[in-house]
Amino acid sequence: MPDNLQIRMWQSADVARLHDINEAAVPGVGTLGREPFEDLVANTSDVTFVALLDGRIEGFVMGLIEGRDYASLNYQWLSERYKDFAYVDRIAVAASARGLRIGAALYSAMVSHYEGRRDILLAEVNLAPPNPGSLRFHQRHGFVRVGERWDDKGGKGVVYLARNLAVRSIP
Q: What is the CATH number of the domain that holds 84?
A: 3.40.630.30
State how far the alpha carbon of 35 is from the alpha carbons of 28, 40, 86, 140, in Å: 20, 9, 24, 34
Is residue 171 assigned to a domain?
Answer: no
Is residue 170 assigned to a domain?
Answer: no
Range of the domain at 83: 5-164
Other beta carbons less than 10 A from residue 78's beta carbon: 23
State how far the alpha carbon of 167 is from the alpha carbons of 126, 135, 142, 164, 170, in Å: 29, 24, 14, 8, 9
Going by pLDDT thresholds of 50, 70 and 90, the confidence category of residue 158 is: very high
C-alpha atoms less than 13 angstroms from C-alpha of 93 in its C-beta half-sphere: 20
Residues 44, 68 contacting (CB under 8 angstroms): yes
What's the confidence (pLDDT) of residue 170? Answer: 55
Q: What is the arithmetic mean of pLDDT over 106-128?
A: 94
Is residue 169 assigned to a domain?
Answer: no
What's the confidence (pLDDT) of residue 2? Answer: 77
Is residue 151 assigned to a domain?
Answer: yes
Is residue 41 assigned to a domain?
Answer: yes
Is residue 46 assigned to a domain?
Answer: yes
- Alpha helix positions (H), 42-101: 73-81
Is residue 58 assigned to a domain?
Answer: yes
| Phi, then psi, of 23 in degrees rounded to 5 | -65, -30
Question: For residue 47, what is the DSSP state?
Answer: E
pTM of the model as a whole: 0.91
d(CA 125, CA 91): 11
Task: Report the chain's mean pLDDT, rounded to a whole number.
Answer: 93
Going by pLDDT thresholds of 50, 70 and 90, the confidence category of residue 137 is: very high
Per the structure, the count of domains in the chain is 1
Going by pLDDT thresholds of 50, 70 and 90, the confidence category of residue 163 is: very high
Going by pLDDT thresholds of 50, 70 and 90, the confidence category of residue 155 is: confident
Going by pLDDT thresholds of 50, 70 and 90, the confidence category of residue 156 is: confident
> With pLDDT > 90 as the criterion, what percentage of the chain qualifies?
82
